[in-house]
Amino acid sequence: MFNLTGKTAIITGGGSGIGKAISLLFGAQGAEVHILELNAAAATAVVEEINAAGGKAFEHAVNVSNQEEMQQTVRAIGKVDILVNNAGIAHVGNLENCSAEDFERVYSVNVKGAYNALYSVIPLMKAQQNGVILNLASIAAQVGITDRFAYSMSKGAIAAMTLSVARDYIASGIRCNSISPARVHTPFVDGFIAKNYPGKEEEMFAKLSASQPIGRMAKPEEIAKLALYLCSDEADFITGNDYPIDGGFIKLNN
């Protein structure tokens, strides 16, 4: 089960965090993995790890917010069976703390970046009458999160685009779903705590972990396992859905 042998997968932002975990797992399951990443060094490290384990992976230095770069890269890859729209950035602040520049930066990567990937990949999937798309949304698209105005906006857009693509291309054999993680323990979280709470790292990590009913943050590998299922043939009957993976945050945080 969950064998991706013979499938070509594009993973945006696959050099770190959740994207890295997805890239490694997909490579281990037989997919030819193409990591589209602005951080070339991070992408190289993941590609080398996949190849050293007997998989097949390639790196592509791409700014997802640049449609021409995205289209050129996808054309060069040629065949795409799976697209994971994972690339994204965060912003901490409410509406009043979100400048026009902050808003545009988050929009360019999180929303326009996903659009550019979809715009580039859909024609190839239509031609082969088959394909799977997985978008990384967030619980922030469904519930109010303090000081996450721009980020929540971007993930709400991801949720809406997921439904639209699923509806428009179901007859072309293309499935499109999204997953909505709660807080995941990635290097970003560690960096955020170190920057904003120097000397109180352990205390803040425990506080952030306790904000989820299950009592801890998710591991990137746990998100990757759900991504693998939804992108595998075992999930052939699933499209147009969002899957919270949140330690009970949405339903149990009363």
- pLDDT band of residue 23 (cuts 50, 70, 90) is very high
The model's pLDDT over 141-183, given as tens digits with 9 standing for 90+, comes to 999 999 999 999 999 999 999 999 999 999 999 999 999 999 9
The model's pLDDT over 76-119, given as tens digits with 9 standing for 90+, comes to 999 999 999 999 999 999 999 999 999 999 999 999 999 999 99
Predicted pLDDT of residue 180: 98
Q: Is 50 in contact with 35 (CB distance < 8 Å)?
A: no
Predicted pLDDT of residue 211: 87
Looking at the predicted structure, is the pLDDT value of residue 254 above 80? no
Active-site position among 115, 151, 169, 229: 151
Measured CA to CA, the distance from residue 97 to residue 73 in angstroms comes to 36
Predicted TM-score (pTM) of the model is 0.95
Task: Please compute the mean of the pLDDT values over residues 60-68 and round it to a whole number.
Answer: 97
Does residue 151 have an active-site annotation?
yes
Looking at the predicted structure, is the pLDDT value of residue 232 above 90? yes
Q: What does each C-alpha distance from 221 to 29, 39, 163, 217, 232 come to in angstroms?
A: 14, 21, 25, 12, 16
